[in-house]
Amino acid sequence: MDRTIADLRQDYSLQELDEKSINGNPLVQFRIWFDQAIAAELPEPNAMTLATCTCDGKPSARMVLLKDFDDRGFVLFTNYNSHKGQELGINPHAALVFWWAQLERQVRIVGGVEKISPQESDGYFEVRPHGSRLGAWASNQSEVIPHREFLQLKLAELEQKYENQSIPRPPHWGGFRVIPQEIEFWQGRSSRLHDRLLYTRLHNHEWRIERLSP
């Protein structure tokens, strides 16, 4: 008998998450989980869903790559003129979701957004692969184009233009930092009684930890 979508289910039983074993700082706890995702050789452990919203409440989401994080927040790079770039410029709030299926884990992050400094964007752009740097110039991200050959012709022009030259960072390309106000760690458990621990940033820059019902 063919299975239906409703039949698709998996019971989670690998690990547990409790208040005694976690770090009081969610950025430190994220580092622990992120390092474990890397050690488990998961495919693209830095892949995350970025959700944005227009000023009139229209949401959108897409997969992007985390490129840095520290006590200040989580950094991604994009064309500032893209849909997500424009939405973040108008409404500087976002949500991130990491899903590490093999570890039965999810991390959800909500917070404000700021552009990183031009110097930070320059530093990352310089270490990108040659083709990726050219691609940042070739693609007017999110704009309608007539066909793929349009991109290939632009790329060929840029390859000729910057032959034997350094490629500068486009002024419309750079990084955003998501400054977390809430970080939720989710560990799958049996019978759908998952562990959910929510960190909320307080006004004194400390973090409150609460357990949420699954």
Give catalytic residues, as residue numbers.
192
Q: Is the separation of the CB atoms in 145 and 108 below 8 Å?
A: no
Residue 27's CB is within 10 A of a number of other CB atoms, namely 17
| Euclidean distance between CA atoms 33 and 199, whole angstroms | 15
- φ/ψ of residue 17, rounded to 5: -135, 120
Closest by CA position to 47, among listed 92, 94, 129, 107: 107
Residue 148's CB is within 10 A of a number of other CB atoms, namely 8
CA dihedral sign of residues 131, 136, 128, 63: negative
Q: How far is CA 36 from CA 26, 31, 40, 87, 103, in A?
A: 15, 8, 6, 33, 9
Q: ∠ CA(124), CA(125), CA(131), 5° rounding?
A: 130
Q: Is the separation of the CB atoms in 95 and 106 below 8 Å?
A: no
